[in-house]
Amino acid sequence: MLHYIPFVNRIEELKVLEELSARGLTKPLYLYGPEGCGKTRLLKEFINSYNNVGIYIDALEGGDIESALQLSKVLNKAIPFIGELVESYSGSIGRILAERIHELLRRLIVKLSLRKSRLVVVVDDVVKAIGIDRIEWYIKWLYELIWKIREKYEVKSILIIVTTSEGLSLDIVSRHTHSHIRMLWNLDKKAFLELASKLNPPDTATTEEVWRVTGGNPRAVIEIAIDYNWDVSKWLVDLKYRLLRVVERVKHRQLAKHLRTVIEDVDVIHSEFSEEMYNLYKVLVEENLIIYKYMNMLVGRELVENQELGIGKYYAWQIPAYRKVLSQLL
Ligand SMILES: Nc1ncnc2c1ncn2[C@@H]1O[C@H](COP(=O)(O)OP(=O)(O)OP(=O)(O)O)[C@@H](O)[C@H]1O
Ligand SMILES: [Mg+2]
């Protein structure tokens, strides 16, 4: 069995992150995207190979400092200082770190003489960790923090990235001008094929089928390959059990007719203005099935529409299989 899944592709994204970290940004970068599209993996890989001060914080990690943090090589002596900081507070480690970035940076910069460096800080899964009701405050706080750090420590550049797959938070964050918002999407076909080939696919027909149902979502691809031994139909059956709840929610609200139209064309959410459509939109976003996508991707362009994969101009199904399974359940 494959214990470690090699990192594939994301070459353009890594290049953009490299460029941004060299320049820095005056506002935090809010990176959102489908669940399992690879936000965490990309950012960890980036921090791992970053040749300046890079800190990755898993805001959801409860107890273990080694799993809550990933540091670039420059910081390999930093864990004891960070340990001291965490010990002086009670609560979940990831959250302590996420809310005390200022103190964390101050300690590191002073103790390791890191003035005039380039800093990158990633706070992963921020909405789940600090709560949707506090996200507005947090982003504004990060924004102010960037300016404080620039002034106080004369750093060459600073880049703060926060991630989430909570679609509802996007509405809140995009109300303000305190952040740059960018999207990360699932793997493209080439990267998907590269990943699939590392997971011993039985034949090309199966690989193609997995592309059609996952649209290149790496978590779904890995799950089908390993947990379902490439048996797509078994995976779809389990997905059906999961989505039945959603269909019930939709039917209870008398929105089945609207869901059918969204399955046909996801962009009707944008073109049909009714209270029912708005309620359905909220259900589908809350359940992490669709996502708003009229936004630049990290690589600086829009995700191209693709009817077959359920990707419209304004909205998209996070994974094409959701559409297929919901359609069967209806
Ligand atoms: N480029 C890649 N190459 C190989 N594996 C990948 C790649 N991107 C993601 N993965 C794998 O896919 C799975 C899901 O990725 P990851 O956890 O990074 O997604 P995510 O977007 O952070 O999800 P969530 O929204 O749930 O936090 C992980 O097992 C990860 O290692
Ligand atoms: Mg993640």
Cα of 251 to ligand 2 centre, how many Å? 31
Say which ligand is closest to the CA of 199. 1
pLDDT at 148 (0 to 100): 93
- Calculate the CA 130 to chain-centre distance: 16
List, in order, residues 6 or more apart from 79 with CB less than 8 Å away: 65, 66, 69, 71
Is 38's C-beta closer than 6 angstroms to any atom of ligand 1?
A: yes
Burial of 25 (0-12, 13-18, 19+ CB in 10 A): middle
Tokens of 179: 């952040």
Which fold is adopted by the domain 11-183?
Rossmann fold (3.40.50)
Contact predicate 253/274, CB 8 Å: no
Contact between residue 224 and residue 230 where contact means Cβ atoms under 8 Å apart: yes
* Mean of the per-residue pLDDT values of the chain: 94
With a 6 Å cutoff on the Cβ, whether 195 touches ligand 1 is yes
CA 223 to centroid of ligand 2, rounded, Å: 15
Nearest atom of ligand 1 to the alpha carbon of 125: 27
**What amino acid is encoded at 275 in this protein?**
E
Give Cα 218 to chain centroid, integer Å: 12
The finding on whether 8 has its CB within 6 A of some atom of ligand 1 is yes
Residue 2 pLDDT > 80: no
Dist. CA 123–CA 32, nearest whole Å? 12
Q: Phi and psi for 272 in degrees, rounded to 5?
A: -105, 110
Q: How far is Cα 194 from Cα 124, in angstroms, rounded to an integer?
A: 26
> pLDDT by residue (tens digit) across 78-122?
888 888 888 888 888 999 999 999 999 988 888 888 888 999 999
Whether 37 is in the pocket of ligand 1, judged by its Cβ within 6 Å, is yes
For 289-305, give the DSSP string: SEEE--S-BTTSSPPPP
Query: Which residue's CA lies nearest to atom 29 of ligand 1?
Result: 219
Atom of ligand 1 nearest to the CA of 9: 1
Atom of ligand 1 nearest to the CA of 191: 1
User: Which atom of ligand 1 is closest in space to residue 6's alpha carbon?
Assistant: 4
How far is residue 94's CA from residue 76's CA, in Å, rounded to a whole number? 19
5 lines ligand 1 (CB under 6 A): yes
Distance 39 CA to ligand 2 centre (A): 5
For 93, list phi and psi in degrees, rounded to 5: -55, -45
Residue from 10, 40, 70 to probe ligand 1 pocket by mutation (most atoms less than 8 Å from CB) = 40
Q: Is 118 exposed, middle or buried (0-12, 13-18, 19+ CB in 10 A)?
A: buried
Nearest ligand atom owner, CA of 35 = 1
Residue 285 has pLDDT above 70, yes or no: yes
CA 44 to centroid of ligand 2, rounded, Å: 10
pLDDT in tens, 205-244: 999 999 999 999 999 999 999 999 999 999 999 999 999 9
Extents of the domains making up the chain: 11-183, 231-329
pLDDT for the residue 176: 84
Strands 157-164 and 118-124: parallel
Instruction: With cut-offs at 50, 70 and 90, classify the pLDDT of residue 301.
Output: very high
Helices (H), 154-231: 167-173, 189-197, 204-214, 218-222
